[in-house]
Amino acid sequence: MNLRFTYGLIFIAILHFYTNLNGQDDFTQNIRGTVVDMNSGYGLPNANIILLGFQPKKGTSADVNGSFILKNVPVGRQSLQVSYTGYQTVVLSDLYVSTGKEVVLRIELKELVETVNEVEIIADYRKDKPINPMAMVSARSFTVEETNKYAGSYGDPARMTANFAGVASSRDNRNDIAIRGNSPIGLQYRLNGVEITNPNHFGAQGTTGGPVTMLNVNLLANSDFLTGTFPAEYGNAMSGVFDLKLRNGNTDRHEFWAQLGWNGLEFGLEGPFSKKSSASYLAAYRYSITDILRKLGIQLDESASYQDLSFKLNFPTKKAGVFSLFGMGGTSGITNQDSGKSSDEWTFDTHGEDLQSESALFSLGFTHHYFFNASTSIQSRVSVVGSRLETQIDTFSLANQELFLKNGERSSEMIYGFSTRLSKKINAASTFDVGLSWELYDVSYADSIFVKHAYQLQTNIKKQFSLFSAFAQWKYEFSNNFSTYIGLHYQYFTLNGSQLPEPRVGLKYMFNPRQSLSFGAGLHSQTQARVMYFVQTPLPDGGFALTNEQMDFSKSIQFVLGYDYLFTEFFRLKAETYYQYLYDIPVKQSIPQYSMLNEGTEFFLDRMDSLVNKGTGTNYGIELTFEKFMSRNYFFLVTATLFESKYKGYDDIDRSTSFNSNYIINAVGGYELPFGKRKNRALILGLRMTLAGGRPYVPYDQQMTMEQGKVVYDWEEAYVPRHQDYFRTSFRVGLRRNERKFNVAFLFDLQYRANYTYIYIYRIDVLTGEVVQDYHMGWYPNSTVRFQF
For residue 108, pLDDT beyond 50: yes
* Percent with pLDDT over 70 in the chain: 88
Quick one: pLDDT at residue 345? 76
In sequence order, the 6+-apart residues with CB closer than 8 A to the CB of 609 are: 535, 536, 537, 547, 548
Q: Are 213 and 219 in contact (CB under 8 A)?
A: no
Give the residue with greater pLDDT, 83 vs 120. Answer: 83
For residue 386, pLDDT beyond 60: yes
For residue 643, pLDDT beyond 60: yes
- Residue 402 — pLDDT band, cuts 50, 70, 90? confident
Buried b (16+ CB within 10 A) or exposed e, 564-577: bebeebbebebebb
Quick one: pLDDT at residue 492? 98
Phi-psi region of 733 (alpha: psi -120 to 50; beta: other; left: phi over 0): beta
Distance CA 760, CA 724 (A): 10
Quick one: pLDDT at residue 754? 52
For residue 117, pLDDT beyond 70: no
Distance CA 62, CA 80 (A): 14
Distance CA 326, CA 367 (A): 9
Distance CA 697, CA 508 (A): 39
For residue 40, pLDDT beyond 50: yes
Quick one: pLDDT at residue 301? 54
Quick one: pLDDT at residue 300? 63
Q: What average pLDDT does the chain have?
A: 86
The most confident of 149-153, 477-481, 628-632, 640-644, by mean pLDDT: 640-644
Q: What is the mean pLDDT of residues 308-324?
A: 95
Q: Are 529 and 597 in contact (CB under 8 A)?
A: no
Closest to 125 (Cα-Cα) out of 172, 155, 93: 93
Closest to 557 (Cα-Cα) out of 585, 527, 525: 525
Distance CA 585, CA 608 (A): 13
In a 10 Å sphere around its CB, with 0-12 CB exposed, 13-18 middle and 19+ buried, how is residue 127 labelled? buried
Q: Which DSSP symbol is given to 659? A: T
- Using DSSP's 3-state secondary structure scheme, residue 601 falls into coil
Quick one: pLDDT at residue 758? 34
Q: Are 362 and 385 in contact (CB under 8 A)?
A: yes
Q: Are 23 and 70 in contact (CB under 8 A)?
A: no
Which residue pairs from 264-269 have beta carbons closer than 8 angstroms and sit at least 24 positions apart in sequence? 264/288, 264/289, 264/306, 264/307, 265/289, 265/292, 266/216, 266/218, 268/216, 268/218, 268/219
Give the residue with greater pLDDT, 775 vs 246. Answer: 246
Quick one: pLDDT at residue 767? 47
Amino acid (one-letter) located at 402? E
Give the residue with greater pLDDT, 31 vs 402. Answer: 31
Q: Are 21 and 57 in contact (CB under 8 A)?
A: no
Question: How do residues 18-33 score in pLDDT, each as one tens digit?
Answer: 444 444 455 788 999 9
Give the residue with greater pLDDT, 611 vs 778. Answer: 611
Q: Which DSSP symbol is given to 245? A: -
Q: What is the mean pLDDT of residues 670-686?
A: 85
Helices (H) and strands (E) in the chain, counts: 5, 44
Quick one: pLDDT at residue 296? 79
Quick one: pLDDT at residue 167? 95
Least confident of 350-354, 434-438, 501-505: 350-354
Question: How do residues 518-540 score in pLDDT, each as one tens digit?
Answer: 999 999 999 999 999 999 999 98
The most confident of 94-103, 198-207, 409-418, 562-571, by mean pLDDT: 409-418
Closest to 66 (Cα-Cα) out of 114, 95, 105: 105
Quick one: pLDDT at residue 756? 40
In a 10 Å sphere around its CB, with 0-12 CB exposed, 13-18 middle and 19+ buried, how is residue 376 labelled? middle
For residue 184, pLDDT beyond 90: yes
Q: Which DSSP symbol is given to 722? A: B
Q: Would you give the end-to-end CA distance of the chain in angstroms?
A: 33
Question: How do residues 700-731 score in pLDDT, each as one tens digit?
Answer: 877 777 666 667 788 999 999 998 898 888 88
Distance CA 316, CA 10 (A): 42
Question: How do residues 50-90 score in pLDDT, each as one tens digit?
Answer: 998 887 888 999 999 899 999 988 888 888 999 998 998 88
Q: What is the mean pLDDT of residues 745-769?
A: 52
Least confident of 341-355, 410-424, 606-620: 341-355
In a 10 Å sphere around its CB, with 0-12 CB exposed, 13-18 middle and 19+ buried, how is residue 652 labelled? exposed
Q: What is the mean pLDDT of residues 167-182?
A: 88
Strand partners for 786? 259, 745
Strands 554-566 and 571-588: antiparallel
For residue 674, pLDDT beyond 70: yes
What is the SS3 string spanning 378-445? EEEEEEEEEEEEEEEEEEECCCCCCCEEEEEEEEEEEEEEEEEEEEEECCCCEEEEEEEEEEEEEEEE
Please give the model's pTM, rounded to 2 decimal places: 0.90
Strand partners for 461? 445
Return the half-sphere exposure (C-beta side, CA atoms, 13 A cut-off) of residue 477: 20
Q: Are 646 and 660 in contact (CB under 8 A)?
A: yes
Q: What are phi and psi of 272, to 5 degrees?
A: -85, 150
Quick one: pLDDT at residue 532? 95
Least confident of 40-49, 233-242, 546-555: 40-49
Q: What is the mean pLDDT of residues 280-302?
A: 82
Element (H, E) at 4: helix 3-19
